[in-house]
A and B are shown apart, each in its own frame.
Chain A
Amino acid sequence: MILELESLTHRYGDELAVDDVSFGLEEGELVALLGPSGCGKTTIVQAIAGHVRPTAGRIRLRDRDVTEEPPEARRVGVVFQESTLYPHMTVGENVAYGLASGDIGAREREKLVTEYLELVALRDQRDAYPAELSGGQQRRVELARALAPQPDVLLLDEPLSALDRTLRERLREEIARIQDETGVTTLFVTHDQEEAMALADRLVVMDEGRLSGNATPRVLYESPPTPFVASFLGRSNALPATVVAREPPTVAVGDRELELQSSVRSPPTGASVTCHVRPADLSISPPEAAGASGTRLSIPGEVVTVADVGRRYDVTVRTETGDELVVELTDDPPTAGERVAVELPRDRIAVFDADENERQRLVAANETRG
């Protein structure tokens, strides 16, 4: 384990910013730390870099406890959202800055500066000042500066968020290439789920200071461990239901019962739960088909709106039970006001305890895929 956080907790005064967060990074991994703004991501980055001393918990780098060590003793490279290039130094001097703090000779230093400027394709700009560079070039110089001292871990704190969309996507690929070439263990912090899923081997999802999920993008998307992950990674419909039987687990939505796949941990009969299902996993059939069939549950309802979003239609259906479900259809959409039945796939439903404080997933959806 290159980097390991153990029960990291941090308070700003009375405000709990990070609550008992533990995760680790293996050598060479690119992990995205994902969550909405204000979820504690930046505090975690600051704690790993050593700019914030955590209230509780340990931070280990290469199995060495660095919790009490100052930033300069940690070998952690940092790139922030806003440029931190030194305006009074040239591009070459900026990249050399992190090398000059060590005991690297002048000749070796020059060689490394050239090497890392080549890595980010900016060798020609060596004598330019940061102000003369474009936003994308500045980002690349920052990457070169952070990487040149060959840190154990590279922390990228929302490095692309200040850029426009086209540039962001181009630099995202650039970061993937650079990470691949250098093999540096990287923690990429972002609030953008698309960015995280496109780039990372693994996602660590945060919600209000707590760890909400930690797995590969596909596993988190297909069998979200918490309702937060279900709704934050892609879109999700939430449907309140009640447990009516445990063997096999069966929930009631309105007066319709749905028998679920066998579960890891079955909630007690009578418990209120929330079923999460992806809009793309729902389909629409004529209303006469409504009723629980062998593999599916269908709920009758009325189409409220149909939005044409280009590559698909988003159909909103108000069900008999009073819930609104969004269904993604690729073709042949119904019209608003039409009576339809929404088909729920049995193996694509994630069930969570309705109590906010008990956010553990209760019934696994498609456990075999996980």
Chain B
Amino acid sequence: MSLARRFPTRGSSRLPELLVPALLGGLVLVYFAIPFVAFLARTGAVDVVGELSTPEARVAIRNSLLTAPVSTAISTVLGVPLAYVLARRSFVGKRLVEALVILPLIVPPVVGGAMLLTAVGRFTPIGAAAAAVGIPLTDSLLGVILAQTFVAAPFVIITARAGFGAVDERLEQASRSLGYGPLSTFWNVSLPLARGAIVAGIVLTFARAIGEFGATMMVAYNPRTMPTRIWVEFIAGGIDAIVPLALALLGITLAVLAAVQRFGRVPTVIDR
């Protein structure tokens, strides 16, 4: 008996290879899209511009636009060098460092905020000392920045690390042999070649920082940022009350994403 008979040819019943994964993926996309569309459908009934002009809304927008870029800048300036070290060297305790980087991601933000309070709260040595010299670390814009940085910094570290990891170390070695020290090599070679990933990480960090609510609420419920203001309005007025600020928040994030993609030439955020 020949094998051909035991494995009957299916001939015309052949399906496109990607049909099943595409169907499953489509379900997720629909699930993403429906709430988005439903929420946007509410906008017609609300005076968006009017609501955003209220003093409370304007303060919240101003506070968010002040804090999120600063948090993103801090995360980037401190996180990218860390990402580079993690991509290039193995050392004793590296696993521990890596776990520490991921920790803020797996801790619920509201718990992260509570942890920050136990470290820099008003009644801790650090918090008390800072407050004594007039720099309160809680219920201040600085507190907002602390909370946002804690929650958002891992994104740029992890993404940049993957970006540096994709740069062949021999490109750096060639630069050294061509007469450049480690710092100029980093600046001339590693940084430009990992730029796409770093920019993607910055965008993710910014989006996370400006939308941060859980940790911010614990550390600095006041002064209000856009997310904390949204919460307050939701408690008082329900869904329709938060539509204007939510749209503004979305608009800012999309604008930043678009600008960065335009000037940073990032293919897609998850490309790497």
Contact = CB atoms under 8 A, between A and B. Distances in A.
A72 B189 contact: no
Contacts, number: 56
B168 A149 contact: no
A107 interface: no
A187 to B, nearest CB: 13
B192 interface: yes
B170 A82 contact: yes
A52 B247 CA distance: 55
Contacts of B170: 80, 82, 84
B174 A84 contact: yes
B97 interface: no
Interface in A94-128: 97-98, 101-102
Interface in B144-181: 168, 170-171, 173-181
Interface in A48-104: 49-51, 70-72, 74, 76-78, 80, 82, 84, 86-88, 97-98, 101-102
Interface of A: 49-51, 70-72, 74, 76-78, 80, 82, 84, 86-88, 97-98, 101-102, 145-146, 149
Contacts of B246: none
A78 B173 contact: yes
A149 B178 contact: yes
A78 B177 contact: yes
A346 B179 CA distance: 55
Contacts of A70: 176, 181-182
Contact of A86 (B171, B173, B182): B171
Interface residues of B, number: 18
Contact of B179 (A49, A86, A87, A101): A101
Nearest to A155: B177
A84 to B, nearest CB: 4
B168 A102 contact: no
Contact of B189 (A71, A74, A86, A149): A86
Contacts of A84: 168, 170-171, 173-174
Interface of B: 168, 170-171, 173-182, 184, 188-189, 192-193
Contacts of B173: 49, 51, 71, 78, 80, 84
A4 to B, nearest CB: 19
Contact of B176 (A71, A80, A145): A71
Given A87-B193, A145-B178, 9 more contacts: A51-B176, A72-B181, A76-B177, A78-B177, A84-B168, A84-B174, A88-B193, A98-B179, A102-B179
Nearest to A49: B177
A74 B173 CA distance: 13
A82 B171 CA distance: 10
A97 B189 CA distance: 11
B192 to A, nearest CB: 5
Contacts of A97: 175, 178, 188
A78 B170 CA distance: 10
A76 B181 CA distance: 14
Given A84-B170, A84-B171, A149 B192 contact: no
Contacts of B193: 86-88
A71 B182 CA distance: 10
Nearest to A80: B170
Contacts of B192: 88
A76 B174 CA distance: 10
A72 B168 contact: no
A96 to B, nearest CB: 10
Task: For the complex of A and B, list the 7 residue pairs with the smallest distance between their C-beta atoms, beginning with the closest.
Answer: A101-B179, A98-B178, A71-B176, A84-B174, A78-B177, A84-B171, A84-B170
Given A82-B168, A84-B168, A88-B192, A72 B174 contact: no
Nearest to B173: A51
A370 B107 CA distance: 74
15 contacts: A51-B176, A70-B182, A72-B178, A72-B180, A72-B181, A80-B173, A82-B170, A84-B168, A84-B171, A84-B174, A86-B189, A86-B193, A97-B188, A101-B180, A149-B178
